[in-house]
Structure 1
Amino acid sequence: MVTAEPQVLTVGDRYDAESIRLFREKGWWQDGSAAALLDRWAEATPTKRFVSDGVCEFDYATARTRARGLGAALLRRGVRRGDRVAVQLPNWSEFVIAYLALARIGAVLVPIMTVYRHTEIGHVLRNSGAVAVITTGVFRGFDHTAMFRDLRADSPALSTIVVVRSEAAEGELTFEAACATETEDSELGDHPDADVPQVVVYTSGTESTAKGCVHTWNTLDFSARGLARDVFQLGADDVMFMPSPVAHATGLMVGVLVPLSVGAETHLLDVWEPTEGLRRIEQYRCTATATATPFVRMALDAQRTAHHDLSSMRVWLCAGAPIPEALAIEFDQAFDGGVLMPLYGCSELMAVTCCHPGDPLERRAGSDGSPALEGVEITLIGPDGEEVPTGEEGEICYRGPGAILGYWRDPERTTATIDTHGRHHTGDLGRMDAHGYMRVSGRLKDIVIRGGTNLSAAEIEGYVLAHPQVAQVAVVPYPDERLGEKACAVVVPVPGATPALTDITSFLKERHISMQKLPEKLVLVDELPMTATGKVQKFLLRDLAREATG
């Protein structure tokens, strides 16, 4: 049975009239579209390289021609404005063309990372009601096109499959043939409204079913222009390097929209391998990037023997974990003065806090930054719903022009997340210092309730991570008959080490850590289970801790 078409979320549902007026008056929302930006740069710098991936590359004029052709081919297959189109591709230049084609005809991009399989994608297809998919054949040993052919039986809305760099079956389209479609402006129509849904990004679903985050062009463009201007200080001569998946929030925002906003270049890497990543930075003279923090550690380790020329790299934004001071110092040296800066954000809000050019090392290594962009308001809310004093922990709430309209086909979750003051509740905890810099301190529900006392898992993780034999750690609760819960430290040791629980607890006692915060169980693992966006899957670790002995 086909699910009834949902009522489309509108800007008026999310923001009051005064907020909308302010956003436009301040220039935070400027309307336009991604395709209009592409037109602008294709006219101004037609032969300038726009996107490359080591295999194929397109200048701005070619990118526009191909995007227009693909858009026309989809229209002729029945795709209409507001229809959702799933795109599951690696970090290839074709992903950028696909996004811009959908932006031109007013269809809604539903990006899906290549690591996701039948279960996750089946949910996305059913929830989004996608009418078409753009994907590839075999990539890293898995046949994506075959998967979508299987999923069509349970996704009756899905009628069109476009295949990139592979053979198409009867009734399907090849990407190359679709991009070669000749078209006129009259067929493509006017550029879409900047306030209607443009992208639905699904969360990685560490704890529950993935949610579809509904962004408009204005909510995305606000963050893209602001990051380009205030954080990366990007110009047309810069080259963005993007090894993070462009099919998710960080990669889409920083790898595609930020360079597009200023007519710069972007270089994509489809499989992260640190030595190859460094080689690409040197070859393409990349000047900026954004990744999860572990990418930096791997890059620095590789550079010890690779010795690439990394002097072009000016800014590397780090997300997902704090930046240790030693890592920031090592980065400054390896990248010849390049700056490592923290960024805190999420699919719903993109850029929440970050450090900015000129922030000293102690800010970059000791905080997650201040509000990322002008117009972003950050409030820390306590359990009573009131703002907490400086230095105290509270839930991080965001209000500003970059927030989603809501969750696709999930009004209950939308209502539970966005309060009557227009604040988006992130579910993350943080502390703000007297200078307006915030440190993310944990998840609202990422706690161990030991004997009725709430212990922050992130706080304990920070203590354990200081142990010299610990490379990575995640703290999770396990049941205890007497206290309700106790803390288990799941540790990835440094190579060659096998720390015991007593080694870690003695180390923490010497640093005068509260006894109740000492882990009472230790599990050693080779690696922590992660989502494709670099989040630890703690629900798996809770099961591991529950079953482990000792």
Structure 2
Amino acid sequence: MRERLPAPSREEITEAAMKLMGTNPFFEVGEDEINGATYRVFKNAPNNTDGLLFMCDLHADKTAVVSGDLRWSFADLAREARAFAAGLLKMGVKKGDLVATATRNTPEWMATYLGTTLAGAVIVPLNGWWTEAEMEFALQDCGAKIVLVDAEQSPKFLALKDTLGLTLISGTGEFDGADRSWTSIRDDGDGEAPPAGVVQADDLMSIMYTSGSTGDPKGVMLTHRGTWSCILSFGFVLSAAKETPKGAAMAEAAGDLGILVSVPLFHVTGTHPVFMLSLIIGRKMVLMRSWKPEEAVRLIKEEKITNFVGVPTMSHELMLTAEAMGEELETLTDLSAGGAKRPADHVKRLADSFKGAYSSTGYGLSETSALGTYNGLDDYQAKPGSCGRAVPPLTDIRIVGPDGNDMPAGEPGEVWIKTPGIFKGYLNLPEETAKTLTPDGWFKTGDVGTMDEEGFVTIVDRIKDMIVRGGENVACLEVESALVKHPNILEAAVFAVPDARLGEAVGAAIYTEPGIDITIDELNDFLEEDLAPFKRPEHLWHFNEPLPRVGTEKVDKPGLRKQLLGANA
């Protein structure tokens, strides 16, 4: 059994990081103005996707993507992306046009993402779990007319095709009604190089939809600079650790890097620190069609996977399944969690089960291009409840009180983040943007946290009325709006219910007339057209009188949760 190697200390990594900024041009830090605010930036970062494909060329012969029996090298991925970009340009796609995707994680999705942004267009990764109504809202909101669709998703879009004037591209699996196939577009551009330097640093790269406390999903506008700020920041952290003797020994023992891609690529965690970071560090990406712990164990063993990223539920299920199968998964070096807080006892259990691996966690948002905090190696074992310190060297974190001043160490306040990974704003929502971005460039997350004397942040609550269910954001207002469409529901309040597996589950209290009974199965059937499955209530309470209220006449959700959940509220 491979034993866990000693990790470099925080002080050793910090010393190495300072040297790295002075010797590696990639990590040289300066200042620049973005949207009227001054930020620390990587002075020599590439401006666009040309740089990502250049990194692919450097790793040309190494395996980049594994999906079932299909294996692409980095050279293959770069070639397919360039060909797809040239094919899009022949279709008439211009700089700033939008191309949406609604597929599972596939190599073609990756080439589409890179090719679209290489051509100067903007990629819009849609949540594959959304209903037809949710897809329709997002497409109308952003105005994308070209959509890459899998056969299994096609019915949602065929119903919208004429109304919205969509051009449907079949991705995995052909379907009647598709206008083009992915292969035909790629073939049109095969062997041609799209013009370089089309895009500038602060041009839009993607629009990623995230649930908001106002109900409807919000389009988060992300830039090329934001992407490079993210992936170079995480590359900086990895490089600094490798510059220490202990870190170098860990890297040598790990060998070639490989990551199991079990998170959806339509989330910022999937696109930035998983997908695009892998391009610059030459890390093999092994795609899973859907999460199955037994299959994950098999793939980690066969493909010699070193890195695993998923919501805490997934690493816990992986551990239990590996133990049941008698597999030690010796190649694993890091098990990272995002999207939700990992229970502290899971951190110790993972360390006991996977003897050669460290676990880690972090905190970031779509609005910050996934930049925020990181907690790993020995620090995570010592402070398992914390999401870590600000990711160096570009990101800053504040804990801010109601008066706008920083809170003392250990005192709760709103978490504010400043990073060049910051979004340009919410699409079509200037007032929402103004509420969350300060004139000097700080993003107000809406999350409540504390920071200790060493800079470690712990998230303790949310100002936003939001549920995080297994890494998926669920806006309470959106679910409430769908519930009260039921003819027998007079009032609804939705809130988070603690869940050992998912972190949080969706709970709902409904007010109906006396004598009216609605089962949870009936309710889920009613909500099928309006809400994706992960947004539908899993816990239901009936009231035959109006729900309790506070003095402002708003439903008293804290009191309601305490009444219904008791000590677990």
**Distance of aligned partners of 1:37 and 1:486 in 2 relative to their CA distance in 1, 3 Å threshold:** closer
Partner of 2:515: none
Q: Which amino acid aligns with 1:405?
A: K
**Distance of aligned partners of 1:71 and 1:438 in 2 relative to their CA distance in 1, 3 Å threshold:** same
Counterpart contact for 2:84–2:112, Cα < 8 Å: yes
Partner of 1:99: 113
Deviation track 1:129-188 (CA, whole Å, cap 9, x = no partner) reads: 1121111102xxxxx1232121123323x3x22111222546611122222224565654
Q: 1:210 aligns with which of 193, 209, 217?
A: 217
Q: Distance in 2 between matches of 1:214 and 1:487?
A: 28
Deviation track 1:32-69 (CA, whole Å, cap 9, x = no partner) reads: 32343223432x33322111122422112221222122
Partner of 1:384: 403
Partner of 1:359: 379
Partner of 2:184: 177
Deviation track 1:422-458 (CA, whole Å, cap 9, x = no partner) reads: 11000000011111111100101459xxxxxxxxx99
Q: Which amino acid aligns with 2:116?
A: L
**Distance of aligned partners of 1:493 and 1:218 in 2 relative to their CA distance in 1, 3 Å threshold:** closer
Partner of 1:398: 417
Alignment of 1:416-455 (within 5 A): 416-446=435-465
3-state SS of paired residue (1:130): coil
3-state SS of paired residue (1:253): helix
Q: 1:317 aligns with which of 333, 336, 343?
A: 336
1:32 lines up with 2:47 in the alignment: yes
Partner of 1:258: 277
Q: Which amino acid aligns with 1:41?
A: C
Partner of 2:160: 151
Q: Distance in 2 between matches of 1:315 and 1:366?
A: 18
1:47 lines up with 2:53 in the alignment: no
Counterpart contact for 1:71–1:188, Cα < 8 Å: no
Q: Which amino acid aligns with 1:284?
A: E
Q: Mean Cα displacement is larger for which, 188-197 or 295-304? A: 188-197
Partner of 1:482: none
Q: 1:112 aligns with which of 119, 126, 129?
A: 126
**Distance of aligned partners of 1:321 and 1:545 in 2 relative to their CA distance in 1, 3 Å threshold:** farther
3-state SS of paired residue (2:434): helix
Cα distance, 1:541 vs structure 2: 7.3
Counterpart contact for 1:35–1:103, Cα < 8 Å: no
Answer 1 or 2: higher relative contact order, Cα 8 Å, separation at least 6: 2
Q: Which amino acid aligns with 2:161?
A: R
Deviation track 1:331-374 (CA, whole Å, cap 9, x = no partner) reads: 112222211112111111112112133425121x1311111222
Alignment of 1:166-315 (within 5 A): 166-169=173-176, 172-183=179-190, 187-188=194-195, 190-205=197-212, 208-230=215-237, 237-315=256-334
Counterpart contact for 2:278–2:284, Cα < 8 Å: yes
3-state SS of paired residue (2:51): helix
Partner of 1:4: none
Partner of 1:468: none
Q: Distance in 2 between matches of 1:264 and 1:148?
A: 34
Q: Distance in 2 between matches of 1:318 and 1:280?
A: 19
Cα distance, 1:292 vs structure 2: 1.0
1:14 lines up with 2:32 in the alignment: no
Q: Distance in 1 between matches of 2:447 and 2:302?
A: 39
Counterpart contact for 2:371–2:419, Cα < 8 Å: no
Alignment of 1:381-530 (within 5 A): 381-446=400-465, 490=497
Q: Which amino acid aligns with 2:159?
A: D
Q: Which amino acid aligns with 2:386?
A: S
Counterpart contact for 2:360–2:380, Cα < 8 Å: no
Deviation track 1:83-126 (CA, whole Å, cap 9, x = no partner) reads: 11001111111111111111221111100122112111111111
Aligned-residue CA RMSD in angstroms?
Answer: 3.6
1:122 lines up with 2:136 in the alignment: yes
Q: Distance in 1 between matches of 2:458 and 2:414?
A: 12
Counterpart contact for 1:52–1:92, Cα < 8 Å: no
3-state SS of paired residue (2:124): strand
Counterpart contact for 2:48–2:197, Cα < 8 Å: no
Query: TM-score normalised to the size of structure 2?
Result: 0.73
Deviation track 1:277-333 (CA, whole Å, cap 9, x = no partner) reads: 111111111111321111122112212212234111111211233333321122112
Counterpart contact for 1:51–1:93, Cα < 8 Å: yes
**Distance of aligned partners of 1:525 and 1:155 in 2 relative to their CA distance in 1, 3 Å threshold:** closer
Counterpart contact for 1:90–1:113, Cα < 8 Å: no
3-state SS of paired residue (2:54): helix
**Distance of aligned partners of 1:127 and 1:403 in 2 relative to their CA distance in 1, 3 Å threshold:** same
Q: Distance in 1 between matches of 2:498 and 2:435?
A: 34
Partner of 2:76: 62
Counterpart contact for 2:97–2:144, Cα < 8 Å: yes
Counterpart contact for 2:168–2:180, Cα < 8 Å: yes
Partner of 2:149: 135
Q: Which amino acid aligns with 1:108?
A: V
3-state SS of paired residue (1:434): coil
Counterpart contact for 1:488–1:545, Cα < 8 Å: no
3-state SS of paired residue (1:180): helix
3-state SS of paired residue (1:166): coil
Aligned residues: 460
Q: Distance in 2 between matches of 1:24 and 1:154?
A: 44
Q: Which amino acid aligns with 1:93?
A: P
Deviation track 1:2-34 (CA, whole Å, cap 9, x = no partner) reads: xxxxxxxxx966343x43xx4244x5xx13323
3-state SS of paired residue (2:321): helix
Counterpart contact for 2:322–2:328, Cα < 8 Å: no
**Distance of aligned partners of 1:285 and 1:228 in 2 relative to their CA distance in 1, 3 Å threshold:** farther
Q: Distance in 1 between matches of 2:341 and 2:56?
A: 37
Counterpart contact for 1:242–1:255, Cα < 8 Å: yes
Partner of 1:520: none
Counterpart contact for 1:200–1:214, Cα < 8 Å: yes
**Distance of aligned partners of 1:189 and 1:487 in 2 relative to their CA distance in 1, 3 Å threshold:** closer
Cα distance, 1:273 vs structure 2: 0.8
3-state SS of paired residue (2:188): coil
Counterpart contact for 1:126–1:155, Cα < 8 Å: yes
Q: Distance in 2 between matches of 1:134 and 1:275?
A: 30
1:23 lines up with 2:41 in the alignment: yes
Counterpart contact for 1:195–1:218, Cα < 8 Å: yes
Cα distance, 1:190 vs structure 2: 3.6
**Distance of aligned partners of 1:535 and 1:487 in 2 relative to their CA distance in 1, 3 Å threshold:** closer
Counterpart contact for 1:254–1:289, Cα < 8 Å: no
Query: TM-score normalised to the size of structure 1?
Result: 0.75
Q: Distance in 1 between matches of 2:495 and 2:164?
A: 41
Counterpart contact for 1:300–1:331, Cα < 8 Å: yes
3-state SS of paired residue (1:305): helix
3-state SS of paired residue (1:416): helix
3-state SS of paired residue (1:366): coil
Question: Sequence identity, in percent?
Answer: 23
